[in-house]
Structure 1
Amino acid sequence: MKYLYPFIIILLFSFFAKAQDECGTNRAEAIQRILASKSLIQKHPDGFPEDERYVPIKFHLVADSEGQQRVTEHKVFEALCRVNQEFANTGFTFYIKDGFDYMDNSAVFDYNHTSALTTNSCRQAFDSTAVNIFIVHDILNPTGSSGIIYSHPDDWLIMKNSSYFAPLSRTSHGLGHFFSLMNTTSDHIEIDTSSTCAQNCENVADFICDTPPDYNVLGPLGADDCTYTGTDQDSCGTPIHPMTNNAMGYWMCPLFAFTPEQSMVMQADYAKPSRAYLQSNYIPNTTPINQAPTLISPANSTTLSSNYVTLDWNDVPNASTYFLEVSRHSNFSQLTQTFITTQSEYVLALPEPNKNYFWRVTPFNDGYTCSDSLTSMKWTFITGPLALSEIDEISDWSIQPNPITSTVRLTLNVNRPINLNLDILSANGQLLYTEKHRLAANQQQIELANKQLKSGLYFLKITSKAGVEIRRFVVK
């Protein structure tokens, strides 16, 4: 047993040392930030005018450079649902800004805040109009041992996907730090330092007066649930009664909350000129969704005539957006393509003919993601042979060059005159541009200007009375 004592001492020291750090932010800097927020509160004794603050979040889902071990979108939906429940009485609602950012970058995947490569990669992906949350595999420095880092100089949050501390369930904790709150477990550091044990909550610990003392600095090692059964006392001998469900503590509760004063501090931080980039007139769709999609076509277990497919499902009441998954695996664990679309259908060109695929759909709104449990049934289909063309009037067609830099150029071998619609679709299936053409028989070329397309993946769809054809192209 005596050999265990040094380990315990080292473990305790590491946790107490971590407590001097506010989840990646130096404690002195954290104190400056919360004091600045409290100073702003004093200048606004009647509070801040907004009834509700709609805050955009850009989630960066980070995989290694091979695209492996990325957090699933379903986990993010669950985390954001929980965040909005925990912030329900604070005057904040958070929403997903423009879908997800998918990063395949090993330097960020195992995050090291001392690495210039890691930092520069995050800066390149940084969205200057949102709260940026990078969800990574691991954090390679001691300040990330809890699974959450708020990097004050960079103004982004790093959250660890796999940790005993389940940090995705603690997203509210990270957002609290983002809006200048400190850990309630700071109360073990400086509570009641005056000789008379007078109330000094304005100047010590977490600098918040309506958060009671909380000595649970060991987090999940010190408390395995949300119930406090201890007999701790402050330095004056008064029993303490910690708020175990406070979002800025280290307890393991089903749901967390903030106190009124914590809410006021966050509102003050949001009102700072430095946070103006978060403020806009956009109001997200927060309407609850209560129904799962019903898949329509192709019918379950259908064998297609080609490797092209239009996936169709019913419109879900109150849903403005859908998350589509297509996978070679029935549990969607690997080889899965994901798409976000505002339409209740999606046209897809699959790379492999004669293969079995599974698909399902989840409805959501940018400000309401608690519908993750309303995923549709899982259906399957088998792709047919790789087809050059399904339109009889066209024997073959191609996009050249591909990738493109300025102009989309089509070359078509036309057997007989035909009327065509040409559509450019985003990777999420959104229609970006359309035009009509009447083509005579023979080889034909059509040029479409870039239309200011950003770098990325797109689809070109040609439609006639005889059918539909789709090709992928990439803009450099």
Structure 2
Amino acid sequence: SIAADLFCDTKPDYLSYRWNCDAQSNSTVKQIDPAGGEFYSDGTLFMSYSFDECQTRFSDEEVAAMRANLMTEKASWLTDVPTEGEITGAPDMLLPLDGENAPVSGAELRWASVPNATHYLIQYTRISSFIVKEFELVTTDTSLVLGNLFVDKNYYWRVRAFNHWYACTPFSPQQSFYTVPVTAITSPESDNWRCYPSLISRGQALTLEFGEEWQQQNLQCSVVDVTGRVMWQTPLRSSNARIRLDLPSGNWPAGVYHLILAGEKGVKTRSLMLQGG
């Protein structure tokens, strides 16, 4: 006898739709063959329409047929060694720094390249468990500029590196950023210096961005009130293009303050409005 699918080591299966199986991995629908014999389809076979949770195997003849096809029609798919190197780690997250502010429109995500990686999968969401992903993209670059997000929200993001040979790779540890209104973020100056937000709450951190000329500099950072009284002062090292500055503003009165940043390249100032409450 000849089977319709040319595989003689599998049971008949007339079900042409996705179907569930019982506890023995057989179909719940009884079928009748041309000779009048009753049977149930085998749900363990991948070459069936059973649900994914039922499928566990290929039959011996199915395996032999696939191998024969690979050795003949698909011989070009075979190679002795991988053509791309192994990926052993996850990307380092560079920007935004974990927990820092980011503009609600045009925020930039940046990560370090991974040896042997050709592609990166980026995901972000407002749910820290990532059970729901609001955005997912594959890119060959190591940065991504986002569109419009929701304001005053925490976003969580992560990245995974892979190539054509190594795709089962780990995600980076997730990091978060907090979106602030575009009006709270000034445009960068000619040397790419920027400080935001200008409207802050008590305990809220600032984000400082430095152009190349201002990076790797020893700076003196001060915050003064409108009378010129120094509220806080600390040495600062511009070790990265973007850093987070935590202000001890918990007990400061609401009002206007001035951030002063002094270094070898000059002095930068920014006015801040501290909200009450």
Range class of TM-score, shorter chain: 0.3 to 0.5
Structure that is richer in helix per residue: 1
TM-score between the two structures when normalised by the length of structure 2: 0.46
